[in-house]
Amino acid sequence: MTPVKVVEKIAEMRSLRRGLGEPVGFVPTMGYLHEGHLSLVRGARAESRSVVASIFVNPTQFGPREDFASYPCDTERDLALLAEEAVDVVFMPSAAEMYPERFGVYVDGGKVTERLEGACRPGHFRGVTTVVAKLFNIVRPTRAYFGQKDAQQAVVIKKMVADLNMDMEVVTLPTVREPDGLAMSSRNTYLNPAERRAALVLYQALRLAQRLWLEGEKDAGCLRREMIALIQREPLASIDYISVAETETLDELDKVKPPALVSLAVRIGRTRLIDNIVL
């Protein structure tokens, strides 16, 4: 297998970009890749002449008490996986390259960034929109691919692209799960065996909400209460939020009207996991 082209400097990425065949598909990641990331790469590969992936653990989207310093990393493995998927370029800048000393302009994602993840992780989306805007300006993709796993992130990025008139498309692809239903996440590696079993409670709660809704339950409050009750029976789990919301504004719903985003953030031991389904 020919090794994938790795670029660390913005100037080099820009100059390589000029030679890439259109359309260019782009998959931004924080590395420690799993099948969820690879499904995005395959989605990009299927409809692009050229595929660029990025690996950048973005410091500005982590809170002071979050896992930036311990975020898992295996660059050699990541690059081998991306080579297998025939990615053309991997952009892997340093933090100093992305945030030089006098850096000072941030993108504010507005109201949709204030709820759910934004409410629990102040400043998180400001870091996400800022780094993604920078990556979009550097890579200038035709289409960028994001996972439904981070549903609010996809909503925020789509709105940023629309509101700031970025000349590109944002594609969202389905959440890839382990055989038992746990959504794949780089952070699953933090879980010990007991926590790994307990982590199933996220998907079980989502499935419960889906079943109740399919059986005719329209009261969003009832769905939230049933999910909370189920999760509270798991001693290793503690709830950050449970939400049944409109899919674009992320306004909480009283009555479930499809499409509705059922999402949750739950701590399993010290690991914070998120998941969602759309009704």
Catalytic residue numbers? 37
Taking alpha carbons only, the member of 197, 198, 223, 227 closest to residue 212 is 223
Among 10, 54, 147, 242, binds ligand AMP (CB under 6 A): 147
Q: Does 43 bind ligand AMP (CB under 6 A)?
A: no
**Of 5-13, 90-98, 142-150, 209-217: span binding ligand AMP (CB under 6 A):** 142-150
Please report, as residue ranges, which positions from 216 to 245 form the binding site for ligand AMP (by CB under 6 A).
none
Residue ranges of the alpha helices (H) in the chain? 10-17, 35-46, 75-84, 95-98, 117-120, 124-139, 151-163, 193-198, 200-214, 220-232
Q: How far is the CB of 14 from ligand AMP (least distance, A)?
A: 22
Relative orientation angle of helices 10-17 and 124-139, to the nearest 10 degrees = 50
Q: Which is nearer to ligand AMP, 150 or 234 (CB)?
A: 150
Q: How far is the CB of 229 from ligand AMP (least distance, A)?
A: 26
Contacts 24+ apart (CB under 8 A), 122-125: 122/63, 123/60, 123/61, 123/63, 124/61, 124/62, 124/63, 125/61, 125/152, 125/153, 125/156
The yes or no reply on residue 272 touching ligand AMP (CB under 6 A) is: no
- Please state, in angstroms and rounded to a whole number, the distance separating the CA atoms of residues 210 and 263: 11
| Residue 152 binds ligand AMP (CB under 6 A) | no
Q: Does 277 bind ligand AMP (CB under 6 A)?
A: no
Q: Is 150 in the site for ligand AMP (CB under 6 A)?
A: yes
Q: How far is the CB of 151 from ligand AMP (least distance, A)?
A: 8
Q: Which amino acid is at 195?
A: E
Q: Which residues bind ligand AMP (CB under 6 A)?
A: 29-30, 36-37, 39-40, 146-147, 149-150, 175-176, 183-186
